[in-house]
Amino acid sequence: MKRFILILLVLAMLVSMAACTSKAPTSTNPPPGETDSSGTPQTSEEAPPPPDDVEPWTLDPNEDNSLSVTLFSNQTTPNAGNRLSQQLKDELGVTLTYEIISRSDTEAKIGTMLVGGIFNDIIGTTDLNNRFHEAGAIIRLDEYLDSGHIPLLYEHVQPYRARLSWDGGDGVGEPGFYIFPDFNRFYGGIPKNEHDMSAFYIQKAVLEAEGYPPTTPISLETYFGWMEKYMAENPQIDGLDTIGFIILSAPDKEFAIQNPPEHLAGFPNDGNVIVDNNKVVMFYDQDIAKNWYKFLNDADKKGLVYRESFTLTYDDYLAQLARGNVLGMFDQWWNFGDARNALISEKRIDRTWAPCEVVYDNVTTPWYGEVPVLGANQGMGVSSTAAKNGKVEKCLAFLNHIMEEKWQKRFTWGMEGVDYEVVDGRFTRNEQQVENHKDPTWRLNYRLEAFQALMPKHEGYFSDGNSFDPITQPEEFYNGLTDYDKNFLSQYGLKNWRGFVTSPLESPVYYPVWKISLPTGSEAKIAETELKNLSLRYLPEAILCPADQFEKVWAEYCAQIGRVNVEEYVAYLQEKVDIKIAAAGG
């Protein structure tokens, strides 16, 4: 197990993008400036220019511009002598010192940090509860954005500034900008090579054994039937007992146990609710949920559910996946990237997973594909400690510098002529360069994976038409695949994973509801927390209890939900949904 955990720590999580059969034609990239199929503009709106009579802040490489960073990430600290670290020092005078906190330790560490009240200069966070905002650990940045001194950062966020701002947690405060988003801010369009979002994933070896059957839409009986048959024929994989379906329920990862019912019922990922004909419905105690957990209870009695699932931390979950003996799970592609990369590094490609769109029998159109959502209040902010120490300008000058295309390309592609070549204007890599990028040791020496995951990024396309990184460059994505994956995709008439799911349906104006911020301390926020806690208490019991006890456990769960102020929770969300619908002319 230690070996697998070590692999996970040194590998990067490949953060990438998130038909009705899997024999659909290959998805293609839009040319720069095109809109997504939903009609939603995927490039930025025209941003009002910042003041043009001021000079951008810059960093003098002859000065000591050392900065400390806290990163909530499962990546590890880069090796000493890392090339990109050296370039930052040589050209900007910046030496980064890291505090990297495993996501399994996030809850405890945030509490400790806030009590201590002293922070590193830059905080890279994925905390959706906005605790760094509320505690004043990160500072408001509006005056700096408007100053004209950080024009690239201004361009990056200005078109979306309203949706990226935070109102103080009470729903009535003056919104302010605090964090530069870490994902899904696109320039020139959205590349479509990966399915980065939710799905029922299944090991490729299972689909291979089944003769590459269609994977969308399929029933629960089909999906679990494939796993049951494979387990019977392969009770062990590489000396380990074969595991059927694993369920993630670790803190901050509850979506994996809570969200399947909405997708099974044909709804998109709106979090704890569905929106049916513009009406918000909390579905935890509805039939669409009960039917799923009853199915899991039945599957458990067949030995298809991994019974240790509910004791696993997130790191434990990734380590278990990296062993290569897990056949299926409901998850989001980006969330298990470390485990996938561990298996790829061991050349066990058949033990990685492909997405399936599983739905109830009465659902004809799956809704797993979605237009990527801008990451609000997740990413990098400047700490109050940096402000006290007079380092705000230095922090922002650094982040503005790395928004330059030169640095963005170095973070993702590397160095021209060394890590990639340019042929007829297109970035391309030879076989050795592709293999280098897959090698975990090479990446520790030449990449800054933990920092890159949380920094502001120029996703989409560069001004020269090349994609942000190799995995979103169509020809490089395919060329970078293993022979196994190329053959696997060819069986479905595809050249990327995006083709395994239905093209994104038009996103409603309120989508996604889970992005709606609930006021701190409000009845709605309290209800949301209580619902989460109840689900984590009762759902494992409902899945694992004896079959004749399921109805009793479910009834008790629903009774406890009945004691929660669900009405206030739904009413608050409904109000916000109605406002967005009205604003869009609906």
Q: What CATH number does the domain containing 128 carry?
A: 3.40.190.10
Give the total residue count for the chain.
586
Q: In this structure, is residue 384 part of a structural domain? A: yes
- Give the residue among 233, 294, 269 at the shortest CA–CA distance from 545: 294
Assess contact for 428 and 421: CB atoms under 8 A.
Answer: yes
Here the tokens at position 423 are 């042929």
Q: Please report the pLDDT score of residue 33 as a whole number.
A: 31
Do 271 and 156 reside in the same domain of the chain? no
Tokens 């434990």 identify what position?
Answer: 316
Q: In this structure, is residue 535 part of a structural domain? A: yes
Do 149 and 230 reside in the same domain of the chain? no
Query: Quick one: which H or E segment has residue 243?
Result: strand 243-246
β-pairing verdict for 353-356 and 198-203: antiparallel
Which residues 6+ apart lie within 8 Å of 369 measured at CB? Answer: 18, 19, 195, 197, 498, 501, 502, 503, 504, 505
Do 359 and 406 reside in the same domain of the chain? no
Q: Please report the pLDDT score of residue 130 as a whole number.
A: 85
Do 260 and 358 reside in the same domain of the chain? yes
Q: Helix, strand, coil: what percent of the chain each, to 5?
A: 45, 15, 45
Do 305 and 348 reside in the same domain of the chain? yes
Do 281 and 172 reside in the same domain of the chain? no
Q: In this structure, is residue 423 part of a structural domain? A: no
Q: In this structure, is residue 291 part of a structural domain? A: yes
Q: 108-116: long-range contacts at Cβ-Cβ below 8 A with a sequence spacing of 24 or more? A: 109/72, 113/70, 113/137
Q: In this structure, is residue 425 part of a structural domain? A: no
Do 201 and 323 reside in the same domain of the chain? yes
Query: Rounded distance, CA 371 to CA 508, Å?
Result: 11
Q: What are phi and psi of 500, to 5 degrees?
A: -80, -15
Do 126 and 173 reside in the same domain of the chain? yes
Q: Bridge partners of 181?
A: 379
In the chain, the number of structural domains is 3
Query: Rounded distance, CA 397 to CA 526, Å?
Result: 39
Which residue segment(s) compose the domain that 295 sits in?
A: 2-10+193-372+476-498
Query: Rounded distance, CA 260 to CA 366, Å?
Result: 12
Kindly tell me the burial class for residue 499, based on how many C-beta atoms sit within 10 Å of its own C-beta (0-12, 13-18, 19 or more).
buried
Cα–Cα distances in Å, from 112 out to 47, 132, 535?
39, 12, 27
Assess contact for 83 and 460: CB atoms under 8 A.
Answer: no
Query: Rounded distance, CA 539 to CA 213, Å?
Result: 31
Q: Please report the pLDDT score of residue 318 as a whole number.
A: 96
Q: In this structure, is residue 36 part of a structural domain? A: no
Q: In this structure, is residue 303 part of a structural domain? A: yes
Strand segments (E) across 412-542:
421-423, 426-428, 459-460
Do 109 and 141 reside in the same domain of the chain? yes
Here the tokens at position 213 are 């059957």
Cα dihedral angle (430, 432, 435, 441), rounded to 10 degrees? Answer: -140
Return per-residue pLDDT of the chain as tens, 586 residues.
434 444 444 343 333 333 333 322 222 233 333 333 333 333 444 456 667 788 999 999 999 999 999 999 988 899 999 999 999 999 999 999 999 998 788 888 999 999 999 999 999 998 877 889 989 999 999 999 999 999 999 999 999 888 888 877 655 667 899 999 999 999 998 888 888 889 999 999 999 999 999 999 999 999 999 999 999 999 999 999 999 999 999 988 999 999 999 999 999 999 999 999 999 999 999 999 999 999 999 999 999 999 999 999 999 999 999 999 999 999 999 899 999 999 999 999 999 999 999 999 999 899 998 878 887 788 999 999 999 999 999 999 999 999 999 999 999 999 999 999 999 999 999 999 999 998 989 999 999 999 999 999 999 999 999 999 998 998 899 988 999 999 999 999 999 998 999 866 778 888 999 988 888 889 999 999 999 999 999 999 999 999 999 999 999 999 999 999 999 999 999 999 998 888 777 6
Here the tokens at position 349 are 């490609």
In a 3-state reduction of DSSP, which class is residue 127? coil
Q: In this structure, is residue 16 part of a structural domain? A: no
In a 3-state reduction of DSSP, which class is residue 176? strand
Q: Please report the pLDDT score of residue 520 as a whole number.
A: 80
Do 359 and 403 reside in the same domain of the chain? no
Do 530 and 484 reside in the same domain of the chain? no
Q: Is the dihedral of CA 382, 388, 389, 391 positive or negative?
A: positive
Kindly tell me the burial class for residue 51, based on how many C-beta atoms sit within 10 Å of its own C-beta (0-12, 13-18, 19 or more).
exposed
Assess contact for 517 and 166: CB atoms under 8 A.
Answer: yes
Q: Please report the pLDDT score of residue 27 as a whole number.
A: 26
Do 262 and 160 reside in the same domain of the chain? no
Here the tokens at position 312 are 């696993």
Q: What is the pTM (predicted TM-score) of this model? A: 0.78
